[in-house]
Amino acid sequence: MRKLLAANGKLPAGVMALLVLLLPVLAEASPREALTPGPSARVVEVVDGDTVRLEDGSQVRLVGLQAPKLPLGRRNFPTWPLAEESKRALEEMVQGRIVELRHGGAPKDRHGRHLAHLFREDGLWVQGEMLRQGMARVYTFPDNRSVVPEMLAREAEARAARRGIWGHDFYAVRSPDGLDGLIDSYQLVEGRVVEATRVGNQVFLNFSKDWRGEFSLRLDRAALALFRQAGIDPLALQGREIRVRGWLKSHNGPRIEVSHPEQIEILS
């Protein structure tokens, strides 16, 4: 997908039409061969909707996903809506089953957990199925950005059908207005970039001319390097309708720090 974007960030009309036609195909596609093979092991415990424990005692974080969260021993941490349902969906898929781990980026996190895509012995892509069922949403990192188009296609299918989390207001796609009460939460936000400006080694994408107190995006030097590698000029997003995903922080208003191109989908 990133290679289809021109340097100005635009998709040719013919390519856009082709992608619309291909969306159902992408939703069915398995990215298994695009990922690096890892070990196979039996799942002995499902911790939550995006984490499992293997028979050797190690944990696997299902990379590319964010499932509804459970407290898991954290004090004063509320259970997110549909967290138990998400966990049960994953249990039905993998509990007691042999899965193959495949990697598309950093193989472990700072906690020592495997970061992997899981494939059942019958070929089922676990991440893809969780997204298709609406039991998780796409959640990527600068060091794990593989097979994102296939994941976004599965997510889009579930969102359009209002399956799982997409039928609950807690996970609704937001507009740039009224985000103040959602600081420190992970959100998907859709809106038009009113102004794109470079300040030193940073780029800011603002959703209002009066940017103070309003929603904005910030791209730092490292993020801009990844955008350049992808052939995307973030300044060309001015005037475009986009969907962005990330954690909302407060800095002169609600802000998402964009660290890699896959956080942004161009809608128009």
Q: Which of 9-23, 76-90, 119-133, 191-205 comes out lowest in average pLDDT?
A: 9-23
Nearest to 189 by CA among 200, 180, 198, 201: 180
The pLDDT-based confidence of 132 (bands split at 50, 70, 90) is: very high
Q: What is the mean pLDDT of the chain?
A: 90
Tokens of 183: 């600081």
Mean pLDDT calculated for residue range 124-139? 98
The pLDDT-based confidence of 131 (bands split at 50, 70, 90) is: very high
Q: How many residues does the chain have?
A: 268
Whether 119 contacts 102, CB under 8 Å: yes
Can you give the residue ranges of every domain in the chain?
A: 32-167, 173-266
- Which position has the higher pLDDT, 98 or 8? 98
Compute the distance between CA of residue 56 and CA of residue 250 in angstroms, rounded to an integer: 42
In percent, how much of the chain has pLDDT > 70? 89
Nearest to 158 by CA among 136, 138, 139, 132: 132
Mean pLDDT calculated for residue range 143-172? 97
Compute the distance between CA of residue 61 and CA of residue 48 in angstroms, rounded to an integer: 10
The CATH-assigned architecture of domain 32-167 is Beta Barrel (2.40)
Q: 131 by DSSP, 3-state: which?
A: helix
Q: pLDDT at position 73, please?
A: 73
Q: Which residues pair with 57 in a beta bridge?
A: none
pLDDT tens profile 178-237: 898 999 999 999 999 999 999 999 999 999 987 777 999 999 999 999 999 999 999 999
Q: 171 by DSSP, 3-state: which?
A: helix
Say whether 173-266 and 32-167 share the same fold.
Answer: yes
What separation in angstroms does the CA of 14 have from each of 3, 4, 9, 20, 263? 15, 11, 15, 10, 24
Q: pLDDT at position 28, please?
A: 56
**How many other CB atoms are found less than 10 A from the CB of residue 42?**
13
**Residue written as token pair 């424990």:** 53
What is the CATH topology of the domain spanning 173-266? OB fold (Dihydrolipoamide Acetyltransferase, E2P) (2.40.50)
